[in-house]
């Protein structure tokens, strides 16, 4: 599975570039759909949000498409996605995590997101945008906790705007640099590794701590 994911990420730039050249409307639609799925569908926590935004910005620069239009579409999509996730969480509640064999609602995801909440409070809705997996579960748990929707909406908008604009504009600004063009696949994989590394380290530390407790 890991090899399949790495292969997908390593060819993400080529896939999006071909799509942008063939049908800009489809390019915008596909990118927006993936962002909505990652933020709005709690069953899709492993989609490539950060790398996708960077690559989409770079492809937009290379293809000569309107980056401002792309960003406007993605901001609305990201905000709507988190709003849907919040609503689902408010309806399902903690019942979603009762099945310990679930591949989506895993206890460790819940625990990690709760720790994130404990550290950052309401601002975790903003900070969580930049952390894979946590990004998907933060709005869900805000709904579970029955956070007032006005409070959630404020942080949702701030986080959505910050996440979309920073990564997409970064890709757009660097997209026309020759070295970036020639090594975009490596950059994508690098973004994925940097994004996932803190979580992987945390999981490893927790497993080592659990092993020491057993002994």
Q: Of all residues in the chain, what percent carry a pLDDT higher than 70? A: 67
Alpha helices (runs of H) in 11-106, residue ranges in sequence order: 12-22, 24-40, 49-63, 67-92
Tens digit of each residue's pLDDT (9 = 90 or more) over 161-171: 999 999 999 98
Structural domain spans, the chain: 2-214
CA nearest neighbour of 45 among 2, 8, 11, 85? 85
CA–CA dist 147, 154 (Å, integer): 12
Tens digit of each residue's pLDDT (9 = 90 or more) over 18-56: 888 888 999 999 899 989 988 887 665 556 677 889 889
Question: What pLDDT, on the 0 to 100 scale, is given for residue 207?
Answer: 62
Question: What pLDDT, on the 0 to 100 scale, is given for residue 75?
Answer: 96
Contact 157, 77 (CB under 8 A): no
CA nearest neighbour of 59 among 184, 193, 190? 184
The mean of the pLDDT values for the chain is 78
CA nearest neighbour of 51 among 85, 18, 16? 16
Confidence of residue 120 (pLDDT cuts 50, 70, 90): confident
Residue 148 has pLDDT above 50, yes or no: yes
Contact 164, 69 (CB under 8 A): no
């Amino acid at each position: 599975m890991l090899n399949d994911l790495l292969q997908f990420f390593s060819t993400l730039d080529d896939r999006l570039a071909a799509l942008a050249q063939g049908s800009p409307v489809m390019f915008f639609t596909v990118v927006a759909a993936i962002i909505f799925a990652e933020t709005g569908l709690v069953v899709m926590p492993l989609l490539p949000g950060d790398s996708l935004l960077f690559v989409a910005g770079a492809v937009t620069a290379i293809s000569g498409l309107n980056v401002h239009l792309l960003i406007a579409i993605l901001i609305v999509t990201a905000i709507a996605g988190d709003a849907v996730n919040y609503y689902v969480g408010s309806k399902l509640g903690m019942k979603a995590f009762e099945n310990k064999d679930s591949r989506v609602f895993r206890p460790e995801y819940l625990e990690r997101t709760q720790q994130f909440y404990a550290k950052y409070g309401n601002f975790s809705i903003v900070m969580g945008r930049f952390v894979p997996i946590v990004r998907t579960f933060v709005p869900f748990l805000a709904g579970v906790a029955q956070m007032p929707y006005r409070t959630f909406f404020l942080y949702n908008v701030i986080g959505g705007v910050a996440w979309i604009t920073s990564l997409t504009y970064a890709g757009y600004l660097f997209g026309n640099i020759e070295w970036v063009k020639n090594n975009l696949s490596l950059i994508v994989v690098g973004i994925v590794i940097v994004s996932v590394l803190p979580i992987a380290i945390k999981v490893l530390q927790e497993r080592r701590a659990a092993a020491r407790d057993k002994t």
